[in-house]
Amino acid sequence: MAAESGAAPANAFVDIDRVSLRYGARGGDGTLALDGTSIRIEKGEFIAVVGPSGCGKSSLMKLVSGLQRPSAGQVAVAGSVVNGPLKIVGMAFQNATLLPWRTTLDNVLLPLEIVEPHASRYRQNRAQYVEGARALLEQVGLKGFEERYPWQLSGGMQQRSSLCRALIHEPALLMLDEPFAALDAFTREDLWGVLQTLWLAKRPTVILVTHDLREAVYLADTVYVMSARPGRVVSTTRVPFARPRTLDDTFKPEFIEITHHLRDQIAKVRNA
Amino acid sequence: MSDPRLLKLLPWIVLIGFFVAWEAVCRIFAVPVFILPAPTQIWAAFVQYFWPIMGHAWQTLMTTLVGFGIAVAFGLLLGIAVGSSRAVYEALYPLMVGFNAIPKVAVVPILIIWFGIGTVPAIITAFLISFFPIVVNVATGLATIEPELQDVLRSLGASKLQIIWKVGVPRAMPFFFAALKVAITLAFVGSVISETVASNSGVGYLMMAANANLNVPLVFAGLVVLAFLGVALYEVFAFLERRITFWATRGNDIVG
């Protein structure tokens, strides 16, 4: 594939450069999921990608994490072109995808058993890692549930554990694919706050895929609106509000104005 | 109706009722002993031939367990290979299905040509008949890992082997244990078939010998011993399953 030559400028941590993705691409007539999408994300930036369903939001995440290769264009992360699965990524999905045979604590510890340099010193330093995992679980409000199994937890608690698992190895890049979509409204808003706190503590670069506009504006520095298939970026909106943001902020006129603006954008691409 | 104590007693009541009815039918209709012996007559034969029966039962048990043990090791390895590699799956599946379709009774004479009369063909028959469900179940458990979970692990830099070891194998365990319960029963069938066709020891042989002597109560005593061994082994694996893969049969105790 692409050579290492296409290094991104120093200020962009993730550089998605005119990327297209075609599924079933052998004959060239497969479904075009993404068409010339470009997004540049600074280090420590929190971006949200919103758009109608089927706009290739999830494909975008797979491209950035290196699980899928673009049909055209290239993705660079931390200055080098992505050629295979990155090893600095934390991921969470709509389903918590926890392992039912592991306790919540052991689920959170899973990445440390795999990611270097933690994996090779995991056995010696286990006590220290366990302490870290307990602290993280406490931060998301799961103190006392460490030894429970995931199936003994509610959906919101499972999603909190899933966030902890995505963050335990302090990834430079965090990918969230509609992580709160399956939760009720109150739990969802709770978790926005939890996620914001976690992000403010470590400042990873975050890509959040969502179809909830309030969620996008509450959490993100920049919101990208994508068009329906084939997906491409049709608008970029900066969210200027100071951190930490509160739920009350989401009912202020300037917040609602941005949300409305985004809604109009999406309405336009849906009718196009 | 759903009194829990009654539910626990129910299988025993049915079991005892079954034997009482059997006894009653034999006595009321004066069924000849060489057609259907009554439970009391079977019991008498069991007591009379207790030590020979125990000897043959031990032989059958050992044969079954050795054949089953080989099937578990082989089935687990092949199941992991088939479940984790598309190529291995495509290559081996038709062969395995075809092989499984062959009635194992038909294989026993060939085994006897190769290995002679005795324990070896019985072990091999037990193995042949019981490995297939293990392979299929383990492969299914591995092949149905959620793609999102694979993404999580791959984006951490996990190798294929790590994914199989950390997720695939534990995930396949409930499937594996479900297969073991079926396989242990099948292994029994396998070794008894082989003993029946050609052997000089084992419960299968004992029953054939008793049959030749028209000692029908002893034939039935052999059957009862087989049934008892089958239930006992099934329960052992059901117990292990509950202990090891309790998380797969999760309760409704949701918190919060």
DSSP 8-state class, residue A116: T
Per-residue pLDDT reduced to its tens digit, B52-108 = 999 999 999 999 999 999 999 999 999 999 988 889 888 988 888 888 888 888 888
Residues of B in contact with A111 (CB under 8 A): 156
**pLDDT for the residue numbered B205:** 92
Beta bridge partners of A41: A14
Summarize pLDDT for B215-231 with one digit per residue, the tens. 999 999 999 999 999 89
B248 Cβ contact list (under 8 Å, min separation 6): A100, A101, B173, B174
- pLDDT band with cut points at 50, 70 and 90 for residue B28: very high
| In contact, B94 and B157? CB cutoff 8 Å | no
Q: A157: which chain B residues are within 8 Å (Cβ-Cβ)?
A: 255-256
Query: Please, what is the angle between helix B169-197 and helix B216-244, to 10°?
Result: 170
Specify whether the CB–CB gap between B34 and B216 falls below 8 A: yes
Confidence of residue B251 (pLDDT cuts 50, 70, 90): low
Tell me which of B152, B160, B249, B250 to substitute to probe the interface with A (most A C-beta atoms closer than 10 Å). B152
- Pick from A68, A82, A88, A89 the residue to mutate for testing the B interface (most B CBs within 10 Å): A89
Here the ipTM equals: 0.75
Query: C-alpha distances in angstroms, B2 versus A207, A238, B5, B7, B13?
Result: 54, 63, 9, 7, 15
Cα(A139)–Cα(A194) distance, integer angstroms: 8
- Nearest of A25, A139, A116 to residue A72 by alpha carbon: A25
Q: Is the pLDDT of residue B253 over 80?
A: no
Residues of A in contact with B158 (CB under 8 A): 114
Chain A positions touching chain B (beta carbons under 8 Å): 62, 65-67, 85-87, 89-91, 93, 95, 97, 99-101, 110-111, 113-116, 145, 148-149, 151-154, 156-157, 165, 169, 175
DSSP-derived letter for residue A121 is G
**CA–CA min distance B235, chain A (Å):** 23
CB contact under 8 A, A67 and B154: yes
Give the CA-trace dihedral at A238, A242, A244, A245, to 10 degrees.
Answer: -70
Which of A9-13, A58-62, B13-17, B173-177 has the lowest average pLDDT? A9-13
Q: d(Cα B149, Cα A105) in Å, to the nearest integer?
A: 17
DSSP 8-state assignment for residue A231: B
pLDDT, position B39 = 93
d(CA A232, CA A259): 20
Distance from CA of A264 to the nearest CA of B (A): 32
**pLDDT tens digits, B45-65:** 999 999 999 999 999 999 999
Instruction: Name residue B15's amino acid.
Output: L
- Answer for the pair A168, A98: CB distance below 8 angstroms, yes or no: no
CA-based nearest residue to A166, from A229, A104, A109: A109
pLDDT tier, B255 (very low <50, low <70, confident <90, very high otherwise): very low
Count of A-B CB contacts under 8 Å: 78
pLDDT of residue B49: 92
Cα of first residue to Cα of last residue in chain A, in angstroms, is: 34
pLDDT tens, per residue, chain A with 272 residues? 333 334 444 568 888 888 888 877 555 567 778 888 888 888 889 999 988 776 677 788 888 888 888 888 888 888 888 888 887 788 888 888 889 899 999 999 998 888 877 778 888 888 888 888 898 898 888 888 888 998 889 888 998 899 889 888 888 899 998 888 888 888 888 889 888 988 998 899 999 998 888 899 999 999 998 887 788 888 888 888 888 888 888 888 888 888 888 888 888 877 76
